[in-house]
Structures are given as structure tokens and as C-alpha cells.
Amino acid sequence: MKENPFKKMPTILMPNELMEKALRRGEKVAEEFRKKEVPRYLKAKIVEENKVRTIASVISDNLQKYIDKTPPVRKLPKFYQEMVEVLAGIDEFKKCMGAFKWASDLVRKLGNEYAKKIRKARTPQEAAKLRKEFVGRVKSILKQIHPEMAFIAVAREKLKELPTFKELPTIVIAGYPNVGKSTLLKKLTGADVEINSYPFTTKGINVGYLEEFQIIDTPGLLDRPLHERNDIELQAILALNYLANLILFIIDASEYCGFPIESQIKLLDEIRELFKIPIFVAINKVDLADEEAVKKVEEELRKRSLDYIKISADKELNLEELKKEIKRRAFEEFKKAHM
């Protein structure tokens, strides 16, 4: 995917704004017809008819544009489907699109009906009365879908802020704060990382690239016990299941991060339980940790049959080996997912 599919969603005008836009356009068209050389008794009807047709067209076309420029949820990659569910609710989102379609079709139909009635009007006064009646009915229709318009306007603001993720083998970095995740991301990618917004984290998520691989650090998401999260936060976290091919879990064997090894292992266990994708562990800061602490971590990982590598992100110890290993594992999972 080249970009966030919601980036091109148009601004949703509220009923009064949309009505004002249509009335202005209608008046502009009417002004053009008033200048034409037409018998007076016909001119009034022509002006009113074209006002009605223009108002109907502007409103119907705008509502249809909201539908056409909004990607169909069920055709989106699973990750973005989950984001719609988390941020808006898929059923409510689809219901709103249905309301726009209903209103668009009805306004267009009424526009045609009233244009024909105006053409048959006997006097300019009757033509003006029919146009006013049409405008009243359109206002009533827009009032009915005001809640849906307001809902989609809010959802749009949230959805268009979602990051763009490339269709590449993807590695998500996890682990407690200060275990060395951001240092490792910079060392692995060798470049400045992109900071993108993501639901339920004020820090944003960091995205870097290692050749044809995407590496994502998720501060505020996979860096504290998952049992402390509410259901909607967990859903946002679990959406990463549909994005990542591998989780790289970082353990600080030195405990300088401020979290004991036992707590770090417990977070690892929670992530293993929730995620369906493979996990590879990097035991970091081995240059600072004592030998017994490193052995303790290794023992816990062997108990869980988890593969690991000992590194120092700061000293760049074993980083080339780590690169090769995570690339190999992520690529294998990526191939499986796209077979």
C-alpha cells in the first residue's frame, strides 16, 4: 500500500454548510439565466428550474463523493479494517455510508420531480413556491443524516492520521521502556526514523527501514503489562498482528532500564499469549550485565523454547548477526502470509 487509504477522504460538510454551498451555486446559475434573452413569463420558470437542478446536483454529488472517496472497509488490508473497528466501529461506519447513499439518491430524485413540476407551473409565483418547497424537503433530508455526517467527520480526522505502512516484511520491536529499543532501531536502520501517530499512544510509533524491511518501534503500546489495558486499547495493539511478520522482543539483562528481569519476562509471556506471530529475543546490554543475570535470562528463554541472540545495541555487538536473523525470519513469515 502506497499510503494510508483514508488520506484522500474529503472534508465532510455539515448540513448547513452543504446547503449554503448548494444555494450559492444555485443562485449563481440563476443569475446567468436571468441575463438571457427569454420571454419574461418563461424566464422565471427557467430560473427556478435550474436553481432546483443545481441545488440537487451539488448536494447529491457531494454526498456521493463522500462514498466514492472513502475506501470500502471490507476491501482494505486487515490492519486498516481493525483500525476502523477500533476508532469508529465498522458497522456504524457502513451504516453512515448507507445513509449518505439514501440521501444522495433521494435528493437527486426530488430534484428531477420538482424541476418537472416547475416546468408545468402556471405562474412565476407558483414556480418560486415549488422551489422553496423543494429546498425545505432537502433541508429535512440533510437534518436526518446530520448524526451520520458528524460521525464520519470525526472518524475521518482520526483515520487520516493513521500511519502509512508499506507492503514489506515487517518487524515490530517490543520491550519495556529504556531497554534500548530506539537505540537499536536507529542502529539497525542507520537513518532517521519516521514518527507517526497511532491510537492510544501520545508518543507516536517510530518506523525505520532496513533495506526492503520495515521495522516499527511502538512506545506506549508493547512496553508495559497488557493486563493493565482496556479492551479497546488491546484491540489497537492486537491490530499489529495483521501488520507484523516478527516481533523482536528486547530484554535489558543489566536491569538498568529500571525493570527487573522477572517483570520483563512476564511482559514477554503476555505478548506471546496475545500474538500469533513468531517472537525472536535480543538480550541487550550484555556489556553492562553481570554473567549470572545473562545466564538467568537465557535459562528463562530456553524454558520457553525461544530463540535469542546476545547483543549490545550501544556498542554494536552482534548487530550484523541480529540483522541477518530477523531479516531471514521476517521474510519467511512474509512469504507464508502472501502465498
For the chain, which residues make up each domain, given as ranges?
Answer: 15-159, 170-337
Q: By three-state DSSP, how is residue 36 classified?
A: coil
CA gap 245, 279 in Å, rounded? 9
Average pLDDT in the 283-292 region? 96
Tell me what pLDDT residue 136 has: 98
Interior angle at CA 142, CA 62 and CA 34, nearest 5: 65
Phi and psi, residue 196, nearest 5°: -120, 150
Question: What distances in angstroms separate CA 260 from CA 105, 136, 141, 256, 310, one per listed residue?
Answer: 62, 68, 61, 9, 18
C-alpha cell at 15: 448540513
CB atoms within 10 A of CB 39: 7
The answer on pLDDT for 65 being more than 60 is yes
Tens of pLDDT, residue by residue over 127-177, are: 999 999 999 999 999 999 999 999 999 999 999 988 888 889 999 999 999
What pLDDT was estimated at residue 38? 67
- As a whole-number percent, the residues of the chain with pLDDT over 70 amount to 97
pLDDT tens-place string over residues 217-261? 988 788 888 888 888 788 888 888 899 999 999 999 999 999 999
What share of the chain has pLDDT > 90, as a percent? Answer: 72
User: Which cell is 164 given?
Assistant: 502509512
Query: Counting beta carbons within 10 angstroms of the beta carbon of residue 231, is it exposed (0 to 12), middle (13 to 18) or buried (19 or more)?
Result: exposed
Q: How many CA atoms lie within 13 A of 52 on its CB side?
A: 30
The Cα 48–Cα 3 span in angstroms is 44
For 33-60, write each residue's pLDDT tens digit: 777 776 666 778 889 999 999 999 999 9
Longest dimension (CA), the chain: 101
Listed in order, strand segments (DSSP E) in 135-236 are 170-174, 194-198, 201-210, 213-217
Of the listed ranges 192-206, 221-235, 267-281, 307-321, the least confidently predicted one is 192-206
For the beta carbon of residue 97, count every other beta carbon within 10 angstroms: 17
Which helix (H) or strand (E) segment holds residue 310: the answer is strand 308-310
Look up residue 303 and give its DSSP letter: H
| Position 1 pLDDT exceeds 60 | no
Q: 15-159 with 170-337: one CATH topology?
A: no
Residue 196 DSSP SS3: strand
Whole-number average pLDDT of the chain: 92
pLDDT value at residue 231: 82
pLDDT-derived band at 311 (thresholds 50, 70, 90) equals: very high
Q: CA-CA distances (angstroms) from residue 173 to 31, 94, 206, 238?
A: 63, 34, 10, 14
How many angstroms separate the first and last alpha carbons of the chain?
A: 18
Give me the CATH topology for the region 15-159: Four Helix Bundle (Hemerythrin (Met), subunit A) (1.20.120)
Closest to 81 in 3D by CA, of 91, 90, 68, 70: 90
Q: What fold characterizes domain 170-337? A: Rossmann fold (3.40.50)
Residue 271, C-beta contacts closer than 8 angstroms, at least 6 positions apart: 174, 222, 226, 247, 249, 279
How much is the pLDDT for 312?
Answer: 96
Q: Is the pTM of this model over 0.85?
A: no
Q: What is the pLDDT of residue 201?
A: 72
Q: What is the pLDDT of residue 145?
A: 99
Residue 126: band (very low, low, confident or very high) from pLDDT cuts 50, 70, 90? very high
β-pair type (279-284, 170-174): unpaired
pLDDT surpassing 60 at residue 5: yes
